[in-house]
Structure 1
Amino acid sequence: MNPAVLSLVETGLYVVGGLGLMGSSAAYLRKGSLRFSVALLLALGGLLMIVWRVLREAGVRQHHPLWVEIPELAFVLALAGGVFAWTSGLFAHQSRQLSQASERLRNSLATQELMLDVLSHDVRNHLTVARGHLQLHEHEEGQADHVTSAETALDQADELIDTTLLYSRLDGEDREAEAVDLVATARRVVDGLAAHRAHHGVDVDVEADVEAPETLSVRTSPLVDRALENLVDNAIKFSPSGGTVTVRLRDGDPVRVAVVDHGPGLPADRRGELFDRFSPARAEASGTGLGLAITRRIVAEADGQLGYEETPGGGATFTIALPASPTAGDASGDPGAA
């Protein structure tokens, strides 16, 4: 081939390639800071290719070493721009996939929450109707025991709804720590379980190892009362009639709350699964099987620890250890203050 034609073809290829790189840079220039870097590299590479080739064809000759290395420099710049373009495109694709997966997850969770709300609302309506029918028969001769049993079953169904909703929402809501007086909270929980205690024939004592006045304030999860209620309720269920459950509170770092019962306790080989959902390790009598799992999650949310040990002489002792909060401030036993 004629050398002049060959040179012209090479020059054309350089110009077309350089213009292509510069055109690509213009496309990337509109897509953010990383793409701006890509555009700059591509544009410099393309511009160097064109300038070097045009000057060379015009007969310009330079003896500086950089003159000879300009084509290699242009190639390196263009190659770097291409690598940046490929990796940024890959990252953008993965980011889109992650965003889509996250959106699907949010939609799925929203759908589940909606279904739970609808189901709980409808089921509660049916429970209300059932209670109304029971009230029509509660004074009929020979029906008192049957009505009581049915009402107990309805109460358990209501508890199941509340517990399931609480468990499903523990991870979906952000709760800020609040100032809580654990002594007042413990007494309020025990008072709230008065009917339950009377039904099982179990006494519950609250012992507070704190300085006078008897308050023990910490900044912790606003659901800590529910965690304590689960433990006391469970202890009552497993205590023999005439027995005593003790709630012991001890100041320190960490602050400790122990719920002590003298029931059957738990075999050593079953303790590892004690806090799992629906665990048979300590099947909660007439319960949902979620109480201890909920308690563990609430305590973990408060950066605390939930533990189990055998009560001396037999029984179970559950302990909640919470970080001490010297600056917790005053906390009253009123629910609105906790």
Structure 2
Amino acid sequence: MHDLSDSKRAEAEIERQREALVQSEKLAALGSLLAGVAHELNNPLSVVVGQSVLLEETAPDEATEIRARKIHRAADRCARIVRTFLSLARRSPPERQQVDLNEIVQAAVELVTYSLHADGVELTMDLPREPALLWGDADQLNQVVTNLVVNARQALQTAPRPRRLAIAVRLDRDDPEAPTIRLSVADNGPGVPAEIRTRIFDPFFTTKPAGIGTGVGLSMCHNIIDSHGGTVELDETPGGGATFVVTLAAHRSATVGFAAPAGELPAAMTPLRLLIVDDDPEIALTVAEMLAPDGHDIAIAENGAAALARLDEEPCDLVISDIRMPELDGPGLYRQLAIRHPRLLNRICFVTGDTLSEGVRDFLNETGVPVLEKPYEPADLRAMVARLVGKLGESQ
């Protein structure tokens, strides 16, 4: 007689670690893929968003203005979907700030709206009119909401009609000193069997067929919410189905009426000499058109090498540069500025559609250079220029 229990447990642990490694490699590959896709999509989206806003502002008649507004809304929706993809793959350290859970829910739902419609799922959303403000990382919270909604959609695919998905956000002010926000995602699918309810948040535990489920989704949700000081639980669902409830601490401003923070508006400024550096001529011209109404003197260079050649002949006040460019990229331009034009190191900002790449993240974290992610609105670009001008005034 030989007791094989230890041997079996060791084999099971080796298999679990092998599966965990495979899933980790898949997620890393997904992140690299999304980084490239986002960069390629964000460049043309920047042109569409910028030109539609400019057309809307200068439309000669109401019909043209309405058409421009429709293009702008569609492009903005595409941009939000790309940002949601990026947030799912982003593996950067948490960046806590005041965020509106309502906006996060709407962005996450927008990503799967077509899939829900195709699967015959009736979606209802009950969101408060006032912002549901909390202190957290918007990208991580977006991952949580997206995962819960996708899980519900997959559960409903095998359920008989009618298939219903209900998402609600509630503010609990019973304790004025510690208000909370409650998010619930409920479906009328097959539900979660009683025997596995205690295991659904375990890493790499899944009941889905191979190739569909990884077992990391709910575990990731639990870890993110726990790091935010909240809880995520599987609640009882009357009539069958599954209801996941996320509870988070509301931002303290919630106790005074949930007022949304006022947007930062750039003040009028003295016209500047600007150098725009981008290998895509359409993007460079769109940036120039966005800033032209402020009276700036604007020059364009197609890459870092061309920018340095121009700066050697003619100085400028601010540089607005892309990061990924041929011949000499953004980081290379920054390093050359440190040698040849050091006064411009605090007069440069980057605009990019790729902040996922490890090298880009490391460069931005190391230098602390301001960055604006594509696609952006004209107001965002003007606000960035205004902030740079403000910092220059403080240092003088």
For Structure 1 versus Structure 2, the TM-score category normalised by the shorter chain is 0.3 to 0.5
Name the structure where helix makes up a greater proportion of residues: 1
Larger-gyration structure (1/2): 1
Name the structure where strand makes up a greater proportion of residues: 2
